[in-house]
């Protein structure tokens, strides 16, 4: 059998590369079709008017509660800017139902001349109360709420445990609003276990309060025009003079420290529509794979991963590469397998609960989210 010459070998290799590229392109086309089809099925199906009425009801209910909070407990008054819409609904990545809403609740306390937000590190903060008078007012307010698990203000520091007092204050405000006939408050319930679906039995305009905290948030559950919705209230302090064109920096009470985080205005959402479709696809896939078990892939984590990819995707050195949904999903999936405990066993994918590599924080340089 005659030996192949160098040109013949090169020609053979070229054919193999061409076939490989063709298979890759075909696979990416199938992925693109899959994402498009799935997105059309999992996006919110209600018409725009009904969705707007639903979110307005949720927003106005939360604003009413926060207004009452400021009336009853002036120490916990919120800033004039009002509640700040946040989360997947407002960033256009909510899937299946409009049953989850997130808001940041900026405390006016941050504007007090006797309050100073200090950096302990790049992301860790302290909230200092500089006036003995304000310390006495804070402690008197918390004493009124009869919650004694922590000191409201100790050594001039406002602890992250202030959220326990805020949850207690919200409970009192809900009771008052109920007696005023402004809402139908059904009391407190443990929202960690709703296997019986009892909360789906909430009637029109009824509302419940979670017995515990959901991370740093106070959680409500209310019956809106379209469905029952869980609502997370993330009390925070806007860091003075931190506003940018796209948002602002806030101090969040996340155990064991106050933590610096970036709030992005929903109207300035930095993830484009192309990549929002991938965020929604990944959220649904994780939801199906993990069957609501604990996972490191929160909605925020998925959005951060896709946002990191989008920045590279839009770089000049990617200009010659065709940007398709399939191509982007493949790159993102490869990255996800590298940074977390995703395991593949035949046709089964197991989603890990811990990160195995770093995920860069886009908004705070030299810091990883996980």
Q: Does residue 242 register a pLDDT over 90?
A: no
For residues 178-199, average pLDDT: 80
Pairing type for strands 84-86 and 124-129 reads unpaired
Q: What is the pLDDT of residue 14?
A: 45
- pTM reported for the whole predicted model: 0.85
51 or 286, which is more confident? 51
- Whole-angstrom distance, CA of residue 235 vs CA of residue 218: 8
d(CA 359, CA 339): 7
Q: What integer pLDDT is reported at residue 197 of this predicted model?
A: 55
The most confident of the ranges 171-185, 199-213, 255-269 is 171-185
pLDDT digits (tens, 9 = 90+) for 253-271: 988 889 998 898 888 788 8
Is the pLDDT at 196 greater than 60? The verdict is no
What the block records as the tokens of 333 is 């999936």
Query: What are the pLDDT digits (tens) for 9-24?
Result: 445 544 454 444 456 6
Altogether, the residues listed in the chain come to a count of: 370
What is the percentage of the chain residues whose pLDDT exceeds 70? Answer: 78
Q: Give the whole-angstrom CA distance, residue 34 versus residue 44.
A: 18
Mean pLDDT over residues 191-208, rounded? 73
Average pLDDT of span 27-51: 92
Q: What is the mean pLDDT of residues 118-133?
A: 89
Each residue of 308-357: pLDDT tens digit? 888 888 774 455 566 789 889 888 888 887 777 666 677 776 666 666 56
Strand partners, 264: 247
pLDDT at 272 over 60: yes
Domains of the chain, start order: 48-266 (3.30.460.90), 270-350 (no CATH)
pLDDT over 80 (residue 126): yes
Give the pLDDT confidence score for residue 10 in this predicted structure: 45
């Amino acid at each position: 059998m005659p030996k192949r010459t160098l040109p013949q070998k090169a020609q053979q290799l070229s054919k193999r590369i061409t076939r490989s590229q063709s298979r890759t392109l075909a696979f990416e086309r199938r992925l693109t079709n899959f994402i498009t089809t799935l997105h059309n099925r999992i996006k919110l199906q209600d018409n725009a008017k009904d969705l707007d009425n639903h979110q307005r009801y949720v927003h106005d209910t939360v604003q009413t509660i926060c207004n009452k909070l400021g009336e009853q407990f002036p120490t916990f008054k919120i800033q004039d800017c009002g509640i700040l819409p946040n989360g997947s609904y407002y960033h256009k990545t909510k899937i299946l139902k409009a049953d989850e809403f997130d808001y940041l609740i900026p405390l006016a306390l941050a504007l007090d001349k006797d309050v100073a937000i200090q950096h302990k590190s790049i992301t860790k903060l302290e909230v200092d109360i500089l006036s003995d008078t304000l310390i006495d007012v804070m402690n008197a307010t918390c004493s009124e709420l009869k919650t004694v698990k922590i000191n409201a203000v100790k050594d001039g520091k406002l602890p992250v445990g202030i959220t326990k007092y805020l949850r207690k204050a919200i409970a009192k405000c809900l009771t008052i609003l109920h007696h005023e006939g402004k809402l139908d408050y059904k009391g407190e319930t443990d929202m960690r276990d709703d296997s019986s679906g009892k909360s789906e039995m909430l009637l029109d305009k009824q509302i419940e309060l979670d017995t515990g905290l959901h991370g740093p948030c106070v959680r409500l559950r209310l019956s809106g025009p379209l469905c029952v919705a869980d609502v997370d209230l993330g009390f925070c302090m806007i860091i003075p003079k931190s506003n940018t064109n796209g948002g602002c920096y806030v101090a969040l009470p996340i155990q064991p420290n106050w933590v610096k985080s970036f709030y992005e205005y929903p109207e300035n959402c930095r993830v484009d529509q192309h990549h929002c479709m991938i965020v929604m696809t990944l959220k649904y896939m994780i939801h199906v794979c993990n069957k609501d078990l604990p996972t490191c892939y929160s909605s925020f984590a998925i959005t951060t991963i896709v946002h990191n990819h989008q920045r590279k995707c839009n770089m000049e050195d990617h200009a010659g590469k065709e940007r398709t949904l399939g191509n982007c999903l493949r790159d993102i999936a490869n990255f996800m397998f590298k940074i977390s405990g995703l395991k593949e066993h035949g046709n089964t994918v197991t989603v890990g609960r811990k990160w195995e590599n770093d995920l860069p924080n886009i908004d705070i340089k030299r810091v990883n989210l996980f």
